[in-house]
């Protein structure tokens, strides 16, 4: 059975929180080569995820576009973090 949209968003948020290095120290985020500000991108993504966590707790149902936007944004930020050497490239 397929999950409903709320469950799909919760699952996506959980996957993103697991795959992204939100807990890296600032010194690690801003050292070496930089193809986009890793710190600002992670802060942005974290705020988007927190927003949806709050909205889900308030019993709001995301539409498919909301889920797709979070997934697309997360993938783009993931690629930037890979280019910046913060991820090993095997995570999704």
Is 53 among the domain residues? yes
State the burial class of residue 1 (Cβ atoms within 10 Å of its Cβ: 0-12, 13-18, 19+): exposed
Is 44 among the domain residues? yes
Q: What would the pLDDT profile of 32-57 be if each residue is shown by its tens digit?
A: 666 778 888 999 999 999 999 999 99
Is 42 among the domain residues? yes
Q: Model confidence at 2, in pLDDT bands (50, 70, 90)?
A: confident
Question: What is the count of structural domains for the chain?
Answer: 1
Is 50 among the domain residues? yes
Q: Which domain holds residue 42?
A: 38-84
Q: What would the pLDDT profile of 21-31 be if each residue is shown by its tens digit?
A: 988 877 777 76
What pLDDT, on the 0 to 100 scale, is given for residue 33?
A: 66
* Nearest-10 Cα torsion for 70, 75, 76, 80: 130
Is 24 among the domain residues? no
């Amino acid at each position: 059975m397929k999950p409903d949209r709320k469950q799909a968003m919760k699952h996506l948020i959980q996957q993103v929180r697991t795959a992204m290095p939100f807990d890296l120290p600032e010194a690690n985020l801003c050292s070496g080569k930089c193809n986009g500000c890793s710190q600002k991108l992670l802060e942005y993504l974290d705020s988007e995820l927190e927003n949806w966590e709050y909205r889900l707790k308030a019993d709001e149902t995301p539409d498919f576009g909301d889920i797709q936007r979070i997934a697309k944004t997360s993938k783009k930020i993931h690629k930037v973090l890979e280019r910046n050497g913060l991820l090993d490239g095997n995570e999704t």
